[in-house]
Amino acid sequence: MNQPSISSSSPSTRGPADHDIRDQIVAAANEHFSQYGYSKTTVSDLAKAIGFSKAYIYKFFDSKQAIGEAICANCLAEIVAAVEQAINVEGLSPTERFRRLVKTVIATGVNLFFNDRKLYDIAAFAASESWPSTQAYDAQIKSFVSQIVREGREIGEFERKTPLDETVEAIHLALRPFVNPLLLQYNLDFVEEAPTLTSNLILRSLMP
Amino acid sequence: MNQPSISSSSPSTRGPADHDIRDQIVAAANEHFSQYGYSKTTVSDLAKAIGFSKAYIYKFFDSKQAIGEAICANCLAEIVAAVEQAINVEGLSPTERFRRLVKTVIATGVNLFFNDRKLYDIAAFAASESWPSTQAYDAQIKSFVSQIVREGREIGEFERKTPLDETVEAIHLALRPFVNPLLLQYNLDFVEEAPTLTSNLILRSLMP
């Protein structure tokens, strides 16, 4: 077995190098899952593929799900990063920011579905089981929505009569078919028209 | 085999009594699918359960899917009938009609899910394969939406600037997670708040 020298350290004395090993396991698992799928891969398969012992992997991750969680978190973080980049451009109006949010979340999700189907399947499975990574992703998208709505209200671009929480919750619910990886796969027929139709409807609902 | 006397008639000379036999097959299949599920039941199983020969069943239905289609159409027709009854009450405003549409489509769908799960599964499977029954159901819900929006525009309760088609399409898309049986099962966590949140958002978007 190709065991790194750090293998003798106990979990209580983990140093920064442990992060590298975790990353190494995640990267290898990512590749393995991408090829064979999450559900069909066991920790033994992973151990064999990476060249670590199963026991060694269990020093860093409690379960296969924990590895899946790390992969899923990375993958959803990419969507969040893409959205963040698209909306945080100086000088954009809240309306334009919102359109970009919807467009980007759909485009990156669809891209993941078509170009990294096995990883997409992990994210969809994670969403179906409400893994913490998908809850965090959901919360981040919602916080983007909340930011945009608050900004739009402040400058008088959006109405202020509806309680902010209700507005944000309702928008989040309306975007769920495209934000949630489990649902997106059933809405692929609508991803061409949805960014415009759904954004327009929501923006009309926000008019002062 | 318990073959009705009509079994000698060819398809080209089918009379009204054939409808009764079709209904009889559909009713028996409905019961059988409800108990054992659609995917696990073969036409042979059905034939045995009903007491007809397989060949006799094939005189009335081309395939298991054709029987499933008939069941699915009945089941979705119940949702449509419930919505129709809820919204076609004299004296209701378009706003109130719309709220009732959303509430009823969600309530009857959820009721089907929890009380007739195997039938729900047929409808969900049908929706995933876009069977004609689910297309017809979709079109009927959309036509209710269209009726209500047109009425609201005529009496000045809703805005008229957005092209009617766009408005109806966008609303239909926003309701899809609750109208489509395949999607509803993944949105059960939201069925309490969705009727109010989603209706409010859509109605705000319709304000003149």
Instruction: Say which of B173, B186, B190 has its CB closest to residue A198.
Output: B173
Where does residue A192 rank: exposed (0-12), middle (13-18), buried (19+ CB within 10 A)?
exposed
Looking at beta carbons, which residues of chain A come within 8 Å of B180? Answer: 186
Report whether A183 contacts B186 (CB < 8 A).
yes
Q: Rounded CA gap, A104 and A109, in Å?
A: 8
The CATH architecture assigned to A67-205 reads Orthogonal Bundle (1.10)
Of A10-14, A152-156, A193-197, B39-43, the range with the lowest mean pLDDT is A10-14
**Top-ranked range on mean pLDDT: pick from A82-91, B6-15, B109-118:** A82-91
CB atoms B170 and A205 under 8 Å: no
Q: Rounded CA gap, A89 and B83, in Å?
A: 45
Please check the confidence at residue A174 and state whether its pLDDT lies above 70.
yes
The CATH number that domain B69-205 falls under is 1.10.357.10
CB atoms A198 and B162 under 8 Å: no
Q: Does B85 touch chain A (CB under 8 A)?
A: no
Under the banding of pLDDT at 50, 70 and 90, the label for residue B15 is low
Q: Does B193 touch chain A (CB under 8 A)?
A: yes
Q: Does A200 touch chain B (CB under 8 A)?
A: yes
More confident residue, B113 or A18: B113
Average pLDDT over every residue of B125-150: 95
Average pLDDT over every residue of B79-83: 96
pLDDT tens digits for A67-94?
999 999 998 999 999 999 999 999 999 9
CATH topology of domain A11-61: Arc Repressor Mutant, subunit A (1.10.10)
pLDDT of residue A131: 92
Q: Does B102 touch chain A (CB under 8 A)?
A: no
Please check the confidence at residue A7 and state whether its pLDDT lies above 50.
no
Please check the confidence at residue A205 and state whether its pLDDT lies above 80.
yes
Where does residue B106 rank: exposed (0-12), middle (13-18), buried (19+ CB within 10 A)?
buried
pLDDT of residue B16: 55
Please check the confidence at residue B112 and state whether its pLDDT lies above 80.
yes
pLDDT of residue B117: 86
Amino acid identity for residue A168 in this structure? V
More confident residue, A6 or A66: A66
CB atoms B201 and A200 under 8 Å: no
Instruction: Say which of B170, B194, B198 has its CB closest to residue A197.
Output: B170
CB atoms A169 and B193 under 8 Å: yes
Percent of chain B scoring above 70 in pLDDT: 92
What is the ipTM for the molecules in this complex?
A: 0.85
Q: Rounded CA gap, A206 and A54, in Å?
A: 54
Looking at CA atoms only, how far is residue B53 from chain A in angstroms?
38
More confident residue, B55 or B10: B55
pLDDT of residue A103: 96
Retrieve residue A169's tokens. 């919750």
Q: Does B171 touch chain A (CB under 8 A)?
A: yes
Please check the confidence at residue A49 and state whether its pLDDT lies above 90.
no
**Top-ranked range on mean pLDDT: pick from A145-149, B1-5, B43-47, B119-123:** A145-149
Mean pLDDT of chain A: 89
Where does residue A89 rank: exposed (0-12), middle (13-18), buried (19+ CB within 10 A)?
exposed
More confident residue, B91 or B39: B91
Under the banding of pLDDT at 50, 70 and 90, the label for residue B55 is very high
Q: Does the fold of domain A67-205 match that of domain A11-61?
A: no
Q: Which of A71, A208, A91, A87 is nearest to A152 (CA)?
A: A208
CB atoms B198 and A166 under 8 Å: no
pLDDT tens digits for B181-201?
999 999 999 999 999 999 999
Choose which CATH entry (1.10.10.60, 3.90.1150.10, 3.40.50.10860, 1.10.3720.10) describes domain B8-61. 1.10.10.60
The distance in angstroms from the start CA to the end CA of chain A is 66
Q: Does B188 touch chain A (CB under 8 A)?
A: no
Location of structure tokens 């109806």: B168
Average pLDDT over every residue of B128-135: 92
| Mutation choice for B interface testing from A166, A180, A186 by most B CBs within 10 A | A186
pLDDT of residue B14: 52
Please check the confidence at residue B2 and state whether its pLDDT lies above 70.
no
Average pLDDT over every residue of A168-189: 93
CB atoms B202 and A205 under 8 Å: yes
Q: Does A161 touch chain B (CB under 8 A)?
A: no
Q: Does A194 touch chain B (CB under 8 A)?
A: yes
Per domain, the residue ranges of chain B are 8-61, 69-205
Instruction: Say which of A177, A201, A202 has its CB closest to residue B177.
Output: A177
Please check the confidence at residue B61 and state whether its pLDDT lies above 80.
yes
pLDDT tens digits for B21-30?
888 888 888 8
Sequential DSSP letters for chain B:
----GGGGS-GGG--HHHHHHHHHHHHHHHHHHHHH-STT--HHHHHHHHT--HHHHHHH-SSHHHHHHHHHHHHHHHHHHHHHHHH--TT--HHHHHHHHHHHHHHHHHHHHHH-HHHHHHHHHHHHTT-HHHHHHHHHHHHHHHHHHHHHHHTTSS--SS-HHHHHHHHHHHHHHHHSHHHHTT-GGGTTTHHHHHHHHHHHHT--
